[in-house]
Structure 1
């Protein structure tokens, strides 16, 4: 292993942790925006702005979008778009806390899919970290629930996000990261755009709404998915899934710091368990 590759393997988990932090912060800053604009319209605007910004920053990227990048980026983008759309549909039928927990079950779905489809051997230690993260997610999110159609849709969303993680882990290495990210986000923009246009597109209502769109589009989408696509070329899908569960922890933390919400002992303990799982798998999982 070259020293350059070894350095990338050490940096990738911490880069991915920053992605989790940006997504956790997005929950707080998006709260008001999506109350005043339909979710699919918001997602379409967010993905479209991200794609436009990436093209403006590097217009020559079009030369790197070959047939392989287009095919693999499109498939990965379909998984990502399906995750967001199914999550939105499920959220309309069930509670936010339950939606957050079931979405986080991609931490379980990822190693299962990796084992069944890719024949990846998952160690007992890794399964232990997955279980620890799942328990932590439950403590963070669940306050009683009933199984129904909404929960089923969100479960499909978790599978879609797991499939996206698996796809990036298998395909990111050797392909142009920037080009792959643009193809994925363009696919998401097209999918959410069709739905929002059918429902009746709503533009951000005011300047603050556009500020939220710009922040989530540039930082939480363009930059975040470039980092995720790059990181997944240097680490296993299961490790990625466990690290990304920190999004829920950061969301709770930022809700307390910036949103004025209270932090219960149960929530704190759940966050500690997710953090412990993330920390152990970053240090130990091969």
Structure 2
């Protein structure tokens, strides 16, 4: 295995670990937002993550050029707006429908990469997109009514797709610490602004809520953003998006393991299709020339 292949495999494993952590948060988030407003929870969560990352990586931030600083701010604003739209949409639709519509970033990502970066998307990736979409539908859907909540969530999926494409284009492995910290500060500011209408965020109400918030801030927030930023310096955006569609698979697995949900054929079939999609684009031996990691292949302006 070449050095490039080893790094690509390590990046894929890192994304899978990050996605597993995201999947573990669904039950925790439900417990916390039952006791505090969603925007307040997001503001506290990302503010803690931003403070931790800036304390640890402020020297890396200082080494970023002005262009990368502004790129980090823009990436954070895109992601923060996506978080707010997703959670607002979740208050109007069921979690299962929200999970499916959010997962549509797997469709938006190759479209945006084609339109914005003029990247050629191989046919195998489009096949994987179709499999992942069908898998997400089996995992999440029990009917779909197109209302305001769906449209808000669909817009959040578009923003997540844009974030994945832009991060893959701009991220460089040696700048991952600094760029991650800048993004997290921008996300926190966006979420804090969303709470300005009622005088700022309320704090978690009890010790259990604080523990859950700290876990989601430090591991599922700061740690996940750092891993995603580093991994996307070594993976094409469309492949990263398909790997990240394993999030509902992990969420379902944790729900079954914790006794929240029962194992069903839909979970098995949907999870199998999502994993098959990931296999197509990431694990199947490639024919012809090897891909060049995006950090080495692309340095021109969008």
Q: Same fold (TM over 0.5)?
A: yes
TM-score (norm 2): 0.90
2:97 is equivalent to residue 98 of structure 1 = yes
The total of aligned residue pairs comes to 285
What is the CA-CA distance between 1:57 and the residue it aligns to? 2.7
Match of 2:294 in 1: none
The DSSP-based 3-state class of the residue aligned with 1:111 is helix
The DSSP-based 3-state class of the residue aligned with 2:43 is helix
Match of 2:217 in 1: 217
Q: Any residues of structure 2 matched to 1:34-183 within 5 Å, and which?
A: 34-173=33-172, 176-183=175-182
**Structure 2 CA distance, aligned partners of 1:218 and 1:142?**
31
The DSSP-based 3-state class of the residue aligned with 1:176 is helix
Determine if contact 1:28/1:259 at 8 Å carries over to the other structure: no
Residue deviations 1:21-80 (CA, integer Å, cap 9, x gap): 000001122221111111111111111111111223344234224312211101111110
**Structure 2 CA distance, aligned partners of 1:120 and 1:186?**
30
84-93 or 197-206, larger mean C-alpha shift: 197-206
**Structure 2 CA distance, aligned partners of 1:272 and 1:262?**
17
Match of 2:242 in 1: 242
The ranges of structure 1 where at least 4 consecutive aligned residues each deviate by more than 4 angstroms after the TM superposition are none
18-27 or 54-63, larger mean C-alpha shift: 54-63
62-71 or 122-131, larger mean C-alpha shift: 62-71
Residue deviations 1:92-149 (CA, integer Å, cap 9, x gap): 2211111110000000000011111111111111100110000000000000121112
38-47 or 131-140, larger mean C-alpha shift: 38-47
**Structure 2 CA distance, aligned partners of 1:178 and 1:15?**
15
Determine if contact 1:21/1:250 at 8 Å carries over to the other structure: yes
Tell me how large the CA RMSD over aligned residues is: 1.6
**Structure 1 CA distance, aligned partners of 2:2 and 2:237?**
22
**Structure 2 CA distance, aligned partners of 1:145 and 1:137?**
13
131-140 or 196-205, larger mean C-alpha shift: 196-205
Determine if contact 1:37/1:205 at 8 Å carries over to the other structure: yes
The DSSP-based 3-state class of the residue aligned with 1:177 is helix
**Structure 2 CA distance, aligned partners of 1:72 and 1:174?**
15
In structure 2, list runs of 5 or more residues that go unmatched. 292-302
Determine if contact 2:57/2:181 at 8 Å carries over to the other structure: no
**Structure 2 CA distance, aligned partners of 1:115 and 1:62?**
31
Match of 1:263 in 2: 263
Match of 2:300 in 1: none
**Structure 2 CA distance, aligned partners of 1:123 and 1:59?**
39
